[in-house]
């Protein structure tokens, strides 16, 4: 039987760098109660299968939008259909698979935090088990997409805090679906956000500080000051983080060689790319690919 952990057409996935989790999420008071470690979307995930004999280090939420699948937890098999939401507690052995004839489309997130255990226990108590049916809600899906979108913009503190605060709201809409309310959080399109959009649209190039500043009509010195003050990172450092985030997706979802990934990110020197990747992620590109696979 064919089995796949990842590699589905149209899939999206973000793995928050572990140094960011350790340096910010596990220490920043606004984040320590609850924070996302991984998040993604797998459409029509044929042959999707995961088995963790020791469970995962994080709690896992799986929401099935379409199709079918099954989840085994504590030797009990649960059938998953469109609308079902399931919570897998951390460090609990489990296994899950998409249906072979009607594979599921799922939104999923891994999360931790000092309040995470309590949230999962509350959900299990409210649901009288690990699974609940959630009526289709465009607002809930939109909120998940906004969380994903904001994390995709990098790891400055406001992105992390905003995304994880909204993840509180997303979880509450799952735990208490009858109380779901429309979210109203929107990103302001200021000069910093305009520049981040510019960075994301030019990940295949090696932008200079001058080019970034010109893109938002600011002097280099003023732009650098505003960007560092707003994000906590220099513009070049932030741009490199976005490149590494894109590189992680290439490593996870493609068979491109390191040299080819470097080229996709506008870097002629694969050794320079590998050093940059290692500084951000704490492991080399090859080690990252081997660890995730």
Radius of gyration (C-alpha) of the chain in whole angstroms: 20
> Region 246-253: what's the mean pLDDT?
93
Let me know whether 151 and 52 are in one domain.
Answer: yes
Let me know whether 48 and 175 are in one domain.
Answer: yes
Let me know whether 98 and 227 are in one domain.
Answer: no
- Is residue 242 in a domain? yes
Domain count across the chain: 2
- Is residue 277 in a domain? yes
**Per-residue pLDDT tens digits for 122-155:** 999 999 999 999 988 899 999 999 999 999 999 9
Let me know whether 20 and 152 are in one domain.
Answer: yes
What's the Cα-to-Cα distance from 202 to each of 26, 212, 246, 280, 281, rounded to whole Å? 31, 10, 11, 19, 21
Model confidence, pTM: 0.76
Let me know whether 158 and 210 are in one domain.
Answer: no
- Is residue 2 in a domain? no
Among residues 131, 154, 179, the one where a domain terminates is: 179
8-state DSSP, 23: I
- Is residue 76 in a domain? yes
**Phi/psi zone of residue 133: left (φ > 0), alpha (ψ -120 to 50 degrees), beta?**
beta
- Is residue 30 in a domain? yes
Let me know whether 212 and 109 are in one domain.
Answer: no
**Per-residue pLDDT tens digits for 40-83:** 999 999 889 999 999 999 999 999 999 999 999 999 999 999 99
- Is residue 7 in a domain? no
CATH code of 60's domain: 2.60.120.280
Among residues 118, 144, 179, the one where a domain terminates is: 179
Q: Domain containing 200: what range? A: 191-292
């Amino acid at each position: 039987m064919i089995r796949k952990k990842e590699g589905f057409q149209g899939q999206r996935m973000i793995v928050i760098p572990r140094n960011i989790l350790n340096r910010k999420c596990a220490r920043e008071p606004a984040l320590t109660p609850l924070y996302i470690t991984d998040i993604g979307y797998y459409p029509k995930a044929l042959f999707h299968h995961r088995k963790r004999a020791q469970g995962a280090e994080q709690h896992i939420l799986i929401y099935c939008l379409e199709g079918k699948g099954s989840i085994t937890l504590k030797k009990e098999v649960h059938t998953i259909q469109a609308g079902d939401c399931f919570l897998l507690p951390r460090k609990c052995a489990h296994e899950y698979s998409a249906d072979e004839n009607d594979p599921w489309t799922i939104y999923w997130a891994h999360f931790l935090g000092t309040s995470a255990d309590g949230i999962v226990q509350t959900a299990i108590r409210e649901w009288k088990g690990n699974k609940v049916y959630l009526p289709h809600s465009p607002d809930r899906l939109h909120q998940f997409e906004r969380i994903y979108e904001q994390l995709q913009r990098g790891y400055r503190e406001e992105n992390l805090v905003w995304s994880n605060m909204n993840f509180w709201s997303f979880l509450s809409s799952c735990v208490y679906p009858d109380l779901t309310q429309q979210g109203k959080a929107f990103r302001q399109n200021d000069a910093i956000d305009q520049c981040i959009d510019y960075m994301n649209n030019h990940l295949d190039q090696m932008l200079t500080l001058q080019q970034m500043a010109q893109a938002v009509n600011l002097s280099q010195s003023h732009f650098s000051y505003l960007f560092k003050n707003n994000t906590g990172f220099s513009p070049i450092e932030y741009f490199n983080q976005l490149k590494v985030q894109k590189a992680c997706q290439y490593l996870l979802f493609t068979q491109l060689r390191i040299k080819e990934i470097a080229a996709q990110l506008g870097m002629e020197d694969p050794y320079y790319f590998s050093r940059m990747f290692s500084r951000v992620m704490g492991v080399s590109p090859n080690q990252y690919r081997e660890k995730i696979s």
